[in-house]
Amino acid sequence: MTEVVIVGIGQTAVGEHWDVSLRALGNEAMQLAMADSGGLKPQALFVGNALAPNLSHQAHLGALLADFAGLTGIEAAAFEAGGASGGAALRQGFLAIASGMVDVALVLGVEKFTDAIGPDLESALATGTDSEYEAVHGLTPTAQAALLARRYMHEFSVPADGLAGFPLTGHANGAGNKCAMYRKAISLETYQKAEPVCDPLNLFDIAPNADGAAAVLLTRRDFLPEKFIHPVVRIAASASASDTLALHDRPDPLAFDAARQSVEQALKKAGIAREQIDLFEYFDAYSIYAALTLEAAGFAKRGAGWKLAADGSIALTGQIPCATLGGLKARGNPVGATGVYQAVEAAAQLRGQAGPNQIAEARCALIQSLGGPASLAVTHLLERLE
């Protein structure tokens, strides 16, 4: 198979960009990625977005963003997969290059969460659940995560602050990320005093939804510019798996089977052992997702994922560094763009460009984005080449 490499990366700061349009936000990340590549121009644009038709009243993002970026004439399409939209777009870009049908592909994740306020936001987010059996009863994604957390804490005797290590890790690492929404570490005491949002989850257990755009430019290794100045990072494997959309349809709601399957497929495709992974950018939209994902990915036994964070051991110097630039919790969660942010952050780590958050001698990174409670999981393995 053709070797797919990341030749350019770009991202905007995550936050509330009230004065910036969706197209302008996306264009900024695209231009940064193309400039970072040394000026390569894409033949195709793949856009990951979850909420624009609901919040920005804008569909047809492929044509819109290609036009605004001065790329009229190229292939362009958008992909929606809930919180995994960015990961799904990245997978499409990977497949386009790997197949040999495209030489240079631009993958963009973009979301303008602040284009609406109030109940409209909750309504838009609820479209990612089963409309006829979950959303119709008023179940929100946060309430769904709280139900999982309550069951998890009951079944495995997890203390009330047992999930605290995940936001503590995210905020500690986000302090060193100039694009993060929140750049300040928090203490356990701060976590314990935080207001409850949806019992047992408090304010720090829930990643803040926000605006943002991130982009990666992909190409074949033999298509790299002669004077390419960065270490070469390849996408060693890409995999995706799905599960039931409705949580109540699963025999075991605490088993993130799609997350497990996609990780196992990616490891097999890449010929990489789990022990070779130097960092894991997991999808911590909620603290409980982080615990369940670590278990699904094989880094912890069932019911023990929370213990990896209990003593801060998943921070930068831990057994498996996670959320190395803040994760969704501190960097912010630009919903459909998150999967591409993960790719940008992992590539920066492997290039040695992660600044104060740099993982020493990082050579292999695992990234995973989830749609809902792992109703869809998209996993990529990135590897630094000599």
Three-class secondary structure of residue 176 per DSSP: coil
pLDDT value at position 317? 45
Cβ-contact 196, 349 below 8 angstroms: no
CATH of domain 4-117+209-223: 3.40.47.10
pTM over 0.85: yes
100 CB burial (10 A radius; 0-12, 13-18, 19+) = exposed
- CA-wise closest residue to 48 among 93, 96, 2: 93
Buried b / exposed e across 274-291, counting CB within 10 Å, b at 16+? eeebbbbbbbbbbbbbbb
Cα separation values, 114 from 90, 140, 335, Å: 24, 18, 12
> HSE on the CB side for 326, CA within 13 Å?
30
* Backbone region of residue 144 per phi and psi (left: phi > 0; alpha: psi in -120 to 50; beta: other values): alpha
Annotated domain spans of the chain: 4-117+209-223, 125-207+236-384
Backbone angles phi, psi at 355, to 5 degrees: 60, -135
> Would you state the torsion angle of the CA atoms of residues 156, 277, 338, 371, taken in this order, to the nearest 10 degrees?
-50
Domains 4-117+209-223 and 125-207+236-384 agree in fold: yes
The alpha-carbon radius of gyration of the chain (Å, integer) is 19
Helix (H) or strand (E) holding 348: helix 338-351
> HSE on the CB side for 76, CA within 13 Å?
18
The amino acid at residue 368 is: Q
Buried b / exposed e across 120-150, counting CB within 10 Å, b at 16+? ebeebbbebbbeeebbeeebbbbbbbbbbbe
99 CB burial (10 A radius; 0-12, 13-18, 19+) = exposed
First-to-last alpha carbon distance for the chain, in angstroms, is: 19
For residues 24 and 346, what is the distance between their CA atoms, to the nearest angstrom?
25
Per-residue pLDDT tens digits of the chain, which is 386 residues long: 689 999 999 999 999 999 999 999 999 999 999 999 998 999 999 999 999 999 999 999 999 999 999 999 999 999 999 999 999 999 999 999 999 999 999 999 999 999 998 888 889 999 999 999 998 998 999 999 999 999 999 999 999 999 999 999 999 999 999 999 999 999 999 999 999 999 999 999 999 999 999 999 999 998 998 888 999 999 999 999 999 999 999 999 999 999 999 999 999 999 999 999 999 999 999 999 999 999 999 999 999 999 988 755 455 445 789 999 999 999 999 999 999 999 999 999 999 999 999 999 999 999 999 999 999 999 999 999 97
For residues 81 and 285, what is the distance between their CA atoms, to the nearest angstrom?
15
Domain 125-207+236-384 in CATH 3.90.650.10? The answer is no
Q: What is the DSSP string of 49-83?
A: -SSIIIII----HHHHHHHHTT-TTSEEEEE-BTB
